[in-house]
């Protein structure tokens, strides 16, 4: 039996592309004895941990998930045997990754914990759209928020809208209609909005629209979880075609054509 003290590394696997892993993450995986693998991480990440025992501990909203308490017990069990446990989390471990609960449980058991940061899906979504979340022409900051509070309620959308920051909303697809409606009570209907599904991964999908069409356009295009919802004027800087413009283009009518047609109709009515 290993008499050396074990430890746990909370490792941020990023949005999916293994090229976005940090060197520190790769080194931790190479040294791992046990890997607890999150569902949202790229499964190929285990190739970087050739000597480790891999245990899948998926947690997905609306799906059968591994209980959080069980994951914490697994980490404690193996670390107390003197092993190096790497808890692989999709995105950034410290952002909506239940890291606070795991840190408390491990420290309470006297286990050393190391944290390896990574790229959150909110940043990957912004990169896919080609926008700055903190474009100073449009806002003075960004607010990262989950659509689900611990008591299964919703955040104070009016207060968040009042910040005039870019909103990066996680785990919001099941509530996209209600959250869009709540934000519309405080923000203009034409506020730029976007949905990015599987941000940063090979299957990434992007939708650029406006707040009053957000829920309908996302449903029409078949967007689902996991996805990040971005709302705010800074999102309007994206070169991604807007959903309604793309629809018009598919119908053989460009946005410019549509505008020109509306102009001719207005002139005819005036005459």
Positions annotated as catalytic residues are: 38, 59, 171
Q: Give the helix ranges, DSSP H, for the chain.
A: 23-30, 68-79, 99-108, 121-129, 157-162, 176-184, 214-220, 243-250, 255-270
Q: For residues 31 and 9, what is the distance between their CA atoms, to the nearest angstrom? A: 11
Nearest to 63 by CA among 146, 171, 214: 171
Long-range contacts of 129-133 (CB under 8 A, 24+ apart): 129/194, 129/196, 129/206, 129/208, 129/230, 129/235, 129/238, 129/240, 130/237, 130/238, 130/239, 130/240, 131/230, 131/234, 131/235, 131/237, 131/238, 132/234, 132/237, 133/166, 133/168, 133/230, 133/234
């Amino acid at each position: 039996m290993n008499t050396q003290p074990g430890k746990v590394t909370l490792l941020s696997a990023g949005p999916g592309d293994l090229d976005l892993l940090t060197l520190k993450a790769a080194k931790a995986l190479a040294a791992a004895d046990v890997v607890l693998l999150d569902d949202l991480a790229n499964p190929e990440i285990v190739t970087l941990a050739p000597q480790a025992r891999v245990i899948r501990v998926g947690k997905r909203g609306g799906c059968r998930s591994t209980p959080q308490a069980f994951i914490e017990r697994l980490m404690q069990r193996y670390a107390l045997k003197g092993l190096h446990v790497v808890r692989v989390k999709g995105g950034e471990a410290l952002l909506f990754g239940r890291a606070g609960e795991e840190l408390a449980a491990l420290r309470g058991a006297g286990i050393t914990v190391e944290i390896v940061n990574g790229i959150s899906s909110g940043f990957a979504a912004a990169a896919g759209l080609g926008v700055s979340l903190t474009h100073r022409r449009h806002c003075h900051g960004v607010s990262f928020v989950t659509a689900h509070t611990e008591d299964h309620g919703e955040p104070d959308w009016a207060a968040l809208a009042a910040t005039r920051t870019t909103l990066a909303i996680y785990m919001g697809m099941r509530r996209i209609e209600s959250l869009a409606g709540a934000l519309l009570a405080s923000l203009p209907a034409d506020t730029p909005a976007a949905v990015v599904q599987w941000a940063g991964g090979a299957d990434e999908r992007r939708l650029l629209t406006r707040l009053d069409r957000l829920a309908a356009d996302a449903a029409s295009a078949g967007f689902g979880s996991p996805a990040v919802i971005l709302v705010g004027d800074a999102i309007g800087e994206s070169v991604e075609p807007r959903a309604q413009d793309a629809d018009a283009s598919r119908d053989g009518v460009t946005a410019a054509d549509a505008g020109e047609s509306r102009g001719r109709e207005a002139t005819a009515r005036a005459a």
